[in-house]
Homo-oligomer: A and B are copies of this chain.
Amino acid sequence: MVIFRQKTFFQSLLVMVGITLGACQQENAQNSPIEKEVEQIPVKEVAKYVNPFIGTSNFGTTNPGPIAVRGMVNVSPFNVAGAQNLPLEKDSRWLSTPYVKENTFLTGFSHVNLSGVGCPDLGVIITMPTTGVLETDHLAYGSKYSNEISKVGYYSNTLDKYNIKVETTATARSGLSTYSFPKGKANILLNLGLGLTNEQGGMLKIVSPTEIEGFRTVGAFCYYKPDETYPVYFVAKFSRPANEFGVWQNRDHYKGVESEWMKAYNGKTIVKKEYTKEIVGDSIGGYMRYHFDEPTQVEVKIGISYVSIKNARENLEKETSGKTFEQIRQETNKEWNQYLSRIEVEGGEEEDKVKFYTALYHTLIHPSTLNDVNGEYPKMKTRETLKTDGTRYTVFSLWDTYRNLHQLMSLVYPKQQSNMVKSMLQIYDESGWLPKWELNATETTTMVGDPAGIIIADTYLKGIKDFDIQKAYEAMIKSADRIENNPLRPGLKDYLEKGYLTTSTTNSGSVSITQEYNIADHAIAQLAKELGKEQDYERFSKRSLSYKNLFDSEFNLLRPKNHDGTWLSPYRPETGANFVKNLGFIEGNAWQYTFMIPHDITGLKTLMGGDQAFIEQLQKVFDNQQFDMANEPDIAYPFLFNYIKGEEWRTQKTVNSLLDTYYKNTPDGLPGNDDTGTMSAWAVFSMMGIYPVEPATPVYALCTPKFEKVIIHLDKTYYDTDTLTITSKKTTSKNLIKEIKIDDVPFDNFFISHEQLLNSKNIHFTLQ
């Protein structure tokens, strides 16, 4: 998935994108958000290295608001509404984040948000403290702010207009805020009209002077599938009873004869004081109003659920009752330390530690938790209430994450990865299909390919097997073979008959999709082999190489073919970068896609004319500015030099350079959309010196580690080894690998299998 810099590219967007949203926590649906295995390891104070502002500019679309590990809730400052924020204003352009660092005008704090995605959605359940006269129009009550602090599980600022200090923290399913008001009249607004999503409608009811309940409709992610919209339920509790309360409603502007009769209020805001029944509408809100004789702090706690108001209330109570803001902040911080400590790094620059732990933090946000503390969650599409034993994860931006994020989870958080696979199988049970881009129990069907099976195969082949592999295999075969009404593999008929999609099959990405299906078929083949299904292994192995039909040796690149088998002509391989429409490629061009054959680099080399031709062509991608660090198709390219003996230095040099150029301890310190942690996972792996270069094949390419010592604490439930260390010693500043030793034995290879990695106690790099 990708940076959305310009609003003109959105046609193609309807078939793409990439997220993932915090779901870790209670594998057994209990209140403790920590998986058991995490507690086996010594916890270090490493959360301090996380800088949540990284990715809040340059379309990183992360936000600095507190979130628990894979939390459902994230209390983000919301500063993308209002002309003051132009050009990064949500209604004037495609904008997919509730917060942009360079913006200055804040209109509240949204409680459910996506992190690192490319389509606007969520960004709702927005609270805002104000003082003085009640004002319900966010453009009027919005404020500049200062004194911003963001740490793991904590955000604070001061609203300049009102001199209110805001502090926020979060549990898995609740957001907590304290508003420190000056003396005088104060208001806490809960604005259901404002939001990042373009979906409309909500319901709100003031239950008492200390409680508001309701829901906000969200969905139609990427402005696609408008029937896939759904409510986010909430219960808000206030630590002090309001002196006054009420609701507001912005009336539609009627036309025709009725407008004559209702002119007193046509299109106006109606405030209903002390009203206690439900209000509904597209632009509604509720307020609590106070009269303070002295500076006073009010705490607002908001519980969220995708099942019901009742569950939102239960989530809030189970996770926060009896606890102070400070206790919860510390618990959330502790939880993050427990997770982040699974990888310890020593030596290296302090800045690199910030980059590393912030990246790791970003990989632990999505996929996120969908189920409530009682285990209930909504069924796909129809949203009937179901119950899960483990965590039901959501926000599966799989076109992005199949490439590296799940490989990181399998290595470091295998219990989470197992539950993610189980969640995918729940989705299969509920909808009949594995997920493609699942979001809160809707299948958004954005982006292309059939990525879930790749992840499942990769997970299983890495030894994580505590899920129903027969069902998973059945699901993978279904999407691979079902020609009619197949939501995962449109164009499958042509793919099976011709080996590729044509420019008639789709006007959007015939080559890219062929490649994706090849990779998915390769994954099935690998799994078939493991499961002893020899025939399937052969069938899918063969299918996985059909990309060769699209290799045009005239360009030494892939090239779209027409329905009659002729090449698309004229052909300009550069076209397609930066979202310019390209018949053959999705979010990229021939340069950015041709090497995306991770399972058959050997075959590709042969097609290109051997090692040298391959190297030259690959190097051209970088030399001619065709490489796009901000999108997924080519993100494994830097590691492909390892496939040519003697050229591995190019991988090391390129990766080092990309890390330095695109990953920074600044708001623009991500290459672009984080793509629910995919860009961050790239950095985590790269900085450790290993990269999972071939999905569904348990192998890592090696590159230069950034730290003198990396300790990965492995989960003994899944792996026999306790810890794996990667050490390095630098002799010059070039940071190129001179020698590799595994457990003191020289290792003459720039790839290492997952099995060997796990059997190694220490991998040592001597650098020159």
Q: Taking beta carbons and an 8 Å cutoff, which residues of A are in contact with B? A: 7, 10, 13, 91-94, 198, 200-203, 215, 217, 220, 222-224, 226-227, 229-231, 251-252, 254, 256-258, 260-262, 264-265, 268, 270-282, 378, 381-384
Contact = CB atoms under 8 A, between A and B. Distances in A.
Given A91-B257, A256-B91, A257-B91, A226 B276 contact: no
Contact of A201 (B91, B229, B279): B279
A279 B217 contact: yes
A281 B201 contact: yes
A227 B279 CA distance: 11
Given A92-B257, A276-B382, A378-B277, A282 B252 contact: yes
A449 B664 CA distance: 74
A276 B379 CA distance: 10
B381 A275 contact: yes
7 contacts: A94-B261, A217-B280, A223-B261, A226-B262, A230-B277, A276-B382, A280-B281
B202 A280 contact: yes
A231 B281 CA distance: 12
A702 to B, nearest CB: 43
Contact of A280 (B201, B222, B265, B276): B201
Contacts of A223: 258, 261-262, 264
A383 B275 contact: yes
A10 B262 CA distance: 10
A212 to B, nearest CB: 15
A276 B224 CA distance: 20
Contacts of A282: 252, 281-282
Main secondary structure of the interface of A (DSSP, over half): loop
Contact of A258 (B198, B201, B280, B378): B198
Nearest to A307: B277
Given A275-B381, A382-B274, A7 B231 contact: no
Given A7-B257, A10-B261, A251-B226, A381 B203 contact: no
Given A220-B262, A223-B262, 11 more contacts: A92-B257, A93-B257, A200-B251, A200-B252, A223-B261, A223-B264, A224-B264, A229-B272, A280-B280, A280-B281, A282-B282
A93 B381 CA distance: 42
Contacts of A202: 280
Contact of A278 (B215, B222, B258): B215
Q: Which of A223, A256, A280 has the most CB of B within 10 A?
A: A280
Nearest to A200: B252
Contacts of A275: 227, 381-383
A276 B430 CA distance: 14
A3 B60 CA distance: 64
Nearest to A228: B272
Lowest 10 CB-CB distances: which A-B pairs, in order? A223-B261, A226-B265, A201-B280, A223-B262, A280-B280, A274-B382, A277-B383, A227-B272, A226-B270, A201-B281
A655 to B, nearest CB: 36
B280 A203 contact: yes
A268 B261 CA distance: 28
A679 B481 CA distance: 75
Contacts of A7: 257, 260-261
A356 to B, nearest CB: 36
A603 B282 CA distance: 59
Nearest to A8: B260
A306 to B, nearest CB: 9
Q: Which of A271, A273, A282 has the most CB of B within 10 A?
A: A282
B271 A227 contact: yes
Contacts of A226: 251, 262, 264-265, 268, 270
A371 B7 CA distance: 54
A215 B220 CA distance: 24
Nearest to A256: B91
Contacts of A227: 270-273, 275
B200 A203 contact: no
Given A10-B261, A94-B261, A275-B383, A281 B215 contact: no
Contacts of A252: 200, 282
A264 B227 CA distance: 12
A673 B511 CA distance: 72
A251 B226 CA distance: 9
A215 B205 CA distance: 13
Contacts of A271: 227
A256 B92 CA distance: 8
Contacts of A274: 381-382
B277 A231 contact: yes
Contacts of A277: 230-231, 378, 383
Contacts of A93: 257
A411 B384 CA distance: 56
Contacts of A254: 198
A538 to B, nearest CB: 40
Q: Which of A92, A198, A276 has the most CB of B within 10 A?
A: A276
A275 to B, nearest CB: 6
Contacts of A261: 7, 10, 13, 94, 198, 222-223
A231 B278 contact: yes
Contacts of A381: 274-275
Contacts of A251: 200, 226
Contacts of A217: 279-280
A207 to B, nearest CB: 11
B201 A276 contact: no
